[in-house]
Amino acid sequence: MKYREKIYKYVKTKYSTVPEFLWAKFPNYAVLRHSKNKKWYGLIMNVQKNKLGIKSMEKSDIINLKIGDLNYLCSLVRNSGFFEAYHMCKKNWVTIILDGTVPLNTILKLIDLSYVTTLK
């Protein structure tokens, strides 16, 4: 099972979140949103790696998560598989490539952090 499907299963089980596919032009882009305050805590996309600064035209799934703590965010982007947020505020959000570079357990912990961060 790909990371995308594992993430969908995780957020459905833990947070009762069902991914929302909002854009006809980008049918694979999925928003993860709180049911009560409607804030996004995640966005899963499929983008060309060159958009992340990787020299490749190949597409890969990515997830954007809200971190909130700029120091922690800066420490994350120093690691392989983490990038400054693609198409989001770079001071609060991080992009993680979903190609196996970052372990799934790490991604799930960061989803939990993003969920809590966006409760406010």
pLDDT of residue 19: 96
pLDDT at residue 85, as a whole number: 84
Averaged over 69-92, what is the pLDDT? 87
C-alpha 43/C-alpha 29 separation (Å) is: 7
* Residue-level pLDDT at 30: 97
Percent with pLDDT over 90 in the chain: 77
Phi/psi at 15 (5° precision)? -120, 5
Q: Which helix (H) or strand (E) is 32 found in, with range?
A: strand 30-33
Residue 88 one-letter amino acid: M
Which domain, by its residues, includes 97? 3-117
Per-residue pLDDT for 1 more than 80? no
Token pair of 97, please?
A: 């490539």
- pLDDT value, residue 91: 80
Indicate the number of domains in the chain. Answer: 1
Say how far apart CA 17 and CA 35 lie, in whole Å.
7
Query: What is the pLDDT at residue 89?
Result: 67
What CATH number is attached to the domain comprising 50?
Answer: 3.90.1150.30
pLDDT one-digit tens code per residue, 29-79: 999 999 889 999 999 999 999 988 889 999 999 999 999 888 899 899 999
Q: What average pLDDT does range 10-30 have in this prediction?
A: 94
